[in-house]
Amino acid sequence: MKEELEDKTPNDGDVFDFIVVGAGSAGAVIAARLSEIQNVTVLLIEAGSSENYVTDLPLIAMYLQLFETFNWNYKIESSPNYCRAMHNNQCKMPRGKVMGGSSVLNFMIETRGNRQDYDDWAKMGCDGWSWKDVMPIFKKMENFHVQDPIVDKEYHNTGGPVNIARSPYHTISADAFLQAARERGFPIIDYDGKEQIGYSYTYATIKNGSRFSSNKAYLYPVKGRPNLFVTKKSIAHKVLINNANRAFGVSFTKEKKKIKVLARKEVIVCAGAIDSPKLLMLSGIGPANHLNDMNIKIKKDAPVGKNLMDHITYWGLNFLVNDSITVVTSKIFDFMRNNVVHDYLVKREGPLTITGGIEAAGFINVDDPTAREGSPNIELLFAGISVGSDPLAYKSLSIKSKYYNDYLANMLNKESFMIMPTLLSPKSRGSVVLKSKDPMEPPLINPNYFDHPDDMRRLILGIREALRISETRAMQMYDAHLPDNSIPGCQDFLKDSDAYWECAARTFASTLYHPSGTCKMGAENDNRAVVGPRLKVIGVNGLRVADASIMPKIVVGHTNIPTMMIGEKLARMVKEDWGLIVKDKLTE
């Protein structure tokens, strides 16, 4: 694409003021913002290459997991306690390897999280991260284009770099889902407004019906800026740290050539919640016992890789209906019978603009179903498409053929939808550790799903609320119902019992692609923290981390926009610390 920044390979020993590792949701923001300072140079190191027209197509977001070109293709460690339907009991953990990072793979859903999330961060020692501190950043980031009476204009803005809109198309089944929510007594709301509990069509990072990544939002507009350099297909091996425990550069490989680049001021790691801890540990920053086991020289004993959090979602609620009210991909891509592809290519309209198939969402508190204020703990995502009806979706999730054939195959090419209960405030904590000191080896990812009993309890309550939604008049107009057959492996449990749904969750639940927390932010004296409130690595000078890994507590919502906010805030702090403040669209 002509807007993509030119790939430039630095020479061994080249010096830059700032080196940013990772061009994802935070890294793209930071590189663009720091390069606003004309007298500093910024190098952005990205392991992947450029976006393309395939990644722009919203509906096929799930299929992108099948393309190793854009995806690190990580898998979690095998466990008998979850992911039982997946090959080798291993759920996938897709992570972006492309300009724009995971904002090029995700389902584009935009949420900020709940104000309580950020106030909790502040209470945990993260000064400057309360809701009143971050809310102005969220507002000034966005170019919000949703025309709906429910929108609370006080909480939104136009003119920012990040385009936020709704898909120009939604199915009749999505309308029915929201009507069902009304029947259940829930309001239709602006979930980025004053209150988050309620239901809504989703907001998304799209523009003119196409994906709008952090790359498009922040880097496309600064193409040609002479002090910003991008090296693509460049895999960082380690941060270079001297004997005074100061970061002074990065070592990476590109086209089998090893290159060292040096930083006059700082190295900023933005490789994401899986690869940021991996890079820190390879650099000698991490748990001492683990680094000793890996035969890596210890620079700083730190709890890197701990505190892994994720939103786990249940993919098994696939409902058949008796009318043409959903999206059936085989019909959409039947070029001889419809104009769907033409409508997208020419008008940017139609079903192909639906973001990963997801059209609406409900935020609820299953511990207090009457609550209409405060923080939700379950999200019900609605998709006017299903894993059962689509011939490739189950492969994207790595579901074994036996599980697909025994439970979902009879739905193939049929009208159906999904409601996906998602655990928003997990109490379980996992970890990321090195498999070896070889930078090319993937890390070992142990999410430890359902380790805390409250997580399973709440997910089951979320499943039950989704079932109640399906039983409303709005849904029964179309005879919405689950397949008659039982979840494979759960036949011995009484159907619809808590034990049955626990078995089902351990079988079909998987990540919603929101790993976070592995380089936890906290007060300087917090022995569980990796970075302080200004995102400086504790005990190492000249090094910061800025991405979802710094979240001390995962946000109650999707993590892409909060991660961009982290990038904006970090860029501002760096400018302040180095006396480089200039006026820009965010600060004026």
Which is the catalytic residue, given 170, 237, 311, 558? 558
Structural element, H or E, at residue 135: helix 131-141
- Give helix 131-141 / helix 115-123 axis angle, nearest 10°: 130
| DSSP H stretches of helix in 230-374 | 272-282, 288-293, 329-332, 340-342
Phi and psi at 285, nearest 5°, equal -115, 110
Q: Are strands 142-145 and 198-201 parallel, antiparallel or unpaired?
A: unpaired
Rounded CA-CA distance 90/562 in Å is 28
Residue 98 in marked binding region: yes
Residue 170 annotated as catalytic? no
Alpha-carbon span 475 to 472, nearest angstrom: 5
- Known catalytic membership, residue 237: no
Q: Please list the residues that pair with 153 across neighbouring strands.
A: none
Quote the tokens at residue 13: 């020993």
Give the bridge partners for 198, in sequence order: 363
Contacts of 336 (CB under 8 A, 6+ apart): none
- Cα–Cα distance, 326 to 52 (Å, whole number): 28
Q: How many residues make up the chain in this entry?
A: 588
Strand blocks (E) in 95-166: 109-110, 142-145, 162-165
Structural tokens at position 225: 């800026």
First to last CA, the chain: 31
Q: Are strands 543-545 and 162-165 parallel, antiparallel or unpaired?
A: unpaired
The residue among 410, 355, 363 whose CA lies nearest residue 385 is 355
- Give me the DSSP letters along 173-203: HHHHHHHHHHHTTPPB--TTSS---EEEEPE
Residues making up the annotated binding site for FAD are 98
Residues with catalytic annotation?
A: 514, 558
Residues making up the annotated binding site are 98
